[in-house]
Copies of this chain bind each other. A is one copy, B any other.
Amino acid sequence: MGKHTILLKCNCKNMNILEKITQHKSAFSKSERKVAEVILANPQSAIHSSIATLAKMSDVSEPTVNRFCRRLDTKGFPDFKLHLAQSLANGTPYVNRHVDEHDGPDEYTTKIFESTMASLEVARQSVCVNTVNRVVDLLTQAQRISFFGLGASASVAHDALNKFFRFNVPVVYFEDILMQRMSCMNCGSGDVVVLISHTGRTKSLVEIAQIAKTNDATVVGITSANSPLAQECTYVLSLEVPEDTDMYMPMASRIAQLTLIDVLATGFTLRRGNKFRENLKRVKDTLRGSRFEKRGS
């Protein structure tokens, strides 16, 4: 790796630096990884250590620690500590509290709402804005956009369909896996295929990614980093969401995905500019007819 290579995968300002370290661990060199481990093991103590102490603890030289910091797009060790402190400070008001067997309606309602919010906060910090921007770019230029997901993620894909459909963009969505495959086989270079999967381990979706790729489509994954699916994607929008509290279905991750789709859609309209948004308003107005009017309007 070059002398001053900053980790390129992402250097978003809003991104929690701990997330950043975790996500890019594979991109670190051997010694840098040692530093990463030590910091992740006890970030709280790291912010109170000098570079010398940290170097000794990680069993590397001081400049290595310094280089580690720079790689994370900070100005140096003190600056890195500042960032780290800020990450730790986000004393997440909402905590991921698990529902307990003996909880009454009051408790479980609160817990579920709060842990959903907590997950969203975590997700927000793990999203790489640069990638968001690049994906929005792609979407605006796509000749056709496909959204695919399976199981719980299918509804997210469906949601994406609804959103982008209103933009009057050629957009495709299938629930059926065979249809998804067939659709991907007909892909061309103008196609953007967005695949949604929390774990990124669903075999058939990984296959679809491969099919789309061999047909020159750009494959965007909304999935967890370093998963098999992520490996097959051209771009990965990774969402780290805490282990699901929900015992039956991945709730938190789906909410995060939905929100991310919303972000993409918003980016899309912003990129398209004013006139486009006016059109959109007209589409919305069309729906009025099927509604009871509010009194006074």
Contact = CB atoms under 8 A, between A and B. Distances in A.
Contacts of A129: 105-106, 109
A56 interface: no
Interface in A240-258: 246-249, 251, 254-255, 258
A224 to B, nearest CB: 11
Interface string A137-167: 0000000000000011001001100110011
Contact of A247 (B87, B228, B281): B281
Interface in A274-296: 274, 277, 280-281, 283-284, 287, 290-294
A201 interface: yes
Contact of A248 (B114, B151, B166): B166
Interface stretch (A24-32, A58-66, A118-126): A118-126
A132 B158 contact: no
Contact of A269 (B86, B113, B120, B247): B247
Among A103, A113, A166, A287, the most chain B Cβ lie within 10 Å of the Cβ of A113
Interface in A66-115: 78-79, 81-82, 85-91, 93-94, 99, 101, 103-106, 108-110, 112-114
A interface residue count range (under 10 / 10 to 19 / 20 to 34 / 35 or more)? 35 or more
How many copies of this chain? Answer: 2
A263 B109 contact: yes
A26 to B, nearest CB: 14
Interface string A159-192: 1001100110000000000000000000000000
A268 to B, nearest CB: 10
Contact of A90 (B90, B206, B284): B90
20 contacts: A14-B91, A86-B88, A99-B266, A104-B133, A105-B130, A108-B267, A108-B270, A109-B129, A110-B124, A113-B121, A114-B124, A116-B259, A155-B162, A167-B248, A201-B291, A202-B291, A247-B269, A251-B262, A255-B258, A258-B258
